Amino acid sequence: ETGVTQTPRHLVMGMTNKKSLKCEQHLGHNAMYWYKQSAKKPLELMFVYSLEERVENNSVPSRFSPECPNSSHLFLHLHTLQPEDSALYLCASSQRRETGELYGYTFGSGTRLTVV
Amino acid sequence: TQLLEQSPQFLSIQEGENLTVYCNSSSVFSSLQWYRQEPGEGPVLLVTVVTGGEVKKLKRLTFQFGDARKDSSLHITAAQPGDTGLYLCAGAPTDNQGGKLIFGQGTELSVKP
């Protein structure tokens, strides 16, 4: 299997549930990202793991928790979400040089999350 | 905060017409990328431009990076229904910590047969 794989593709969860989104890349990239895509808004960066360094966006609520056990896997743990968190969550990977230059992202197909 | 403004946000045209999508910012970017996204899928990279004034062509698509590296355009010649989708520009900040990209809000293109 090649590219970036996200599971599940669709998820409906209640506000009191705990769930996790999974992302796996088979490209040998050294950086992985979580983005949130809502209607009529630009893609919002949530979290970055790059060159084994975690860079967080401080505006992300603590009900979202990332985990990157190795360079190929990325998780987004969800708990006590709100209806406004319903969106398409996209995972991406890229190859980043130590000088900071990066090549284009390869995105997964996303997880369509609905919070009820 | 660096922003990328795309215009137009929506574009509906007939097959065979030409169109241009613009991506503008007041900030300088070290590189700029264009993606195309179809419903239910993630964005797919079309091109990366790095040098100010650079022009790249991909079949009927022409991409240009502004001389000052603050803006870019995507021109499609003789659009086809298969070109329908959401077009996103994304810039890499010059002080790119963490490898993040700043995305525009997208241009939704519909090409009718």
**Residue A56, pLDDT score:** 65
A34 touches chain B (CB under 8 A): no
Residue-wise pLDDT tens digits, A2-43: 699 999 999 999 998 999 999 999 999 988 999 999 987 889
Q: Decide if B5 contacts B24 (C-beta within 8 A).
A: yes
What is the pLDDT averaged over residues A97-114? 84
What is the pLDDT averaged over residues A36-55? 84
Question: Which residues of chain A make contact with B105, given a CB cutoff of 8 A?
Answer: 40-42
Check CB contact under 8 Å for B45 and A106.
yes
| CA distance, residue A80 to nearest chain B CA (Å) | 25
**Residue B103, pLDDT score:** 93
Residue A58 backbone dihedrals phi, psi, to 5 degrees: -65, -15
Q: Decide if A107 contacts A92 (C-beta within 8 A).
A: yes
- Residue B98's pLDDT band (cuts 50, 70, 90): low
**Residue B95, pLDDT score:** 76
Residue-wise pLDDT tens digits, B23-56: 999 999 989 999 999 988 999 999 999 999 999 9
DSSP B28: -
Q: Which two tokens stand for residue B86?
A: 């959401």
**Residue A99, pLDDT score:** 65
B24 contact partners, CB below 8 Å, separation of at least 6:
B4, B5, B6, B7, B70, B71
**Residue B9, pLDDT score:** 95
* C-alpha to C-alpha distance for B16 and B24, rounded to whole angstroms: 26
Nearest by CB: B97 against A6, A55, A112: A55
On the CB side of A62, how many CA atoms lie within 13 Å of its CA? 0
Nearest by CB: A42 against B98, B100, B104: B104
Q: Which of A105, A106, A109, A112 to mutate to test the interface with B (most CBs of B within 10 A)?
A: A105
Q: Does pLDDT of B90 surpass 80? A: yes
What is the pLDDT averaged over residues B6-13? 96
**Residue B64, pLDDT score:** 97
Residue-wise pLDDT tens digits, A59-91: 899 999 999 998 899 999 999 999 999 999 999
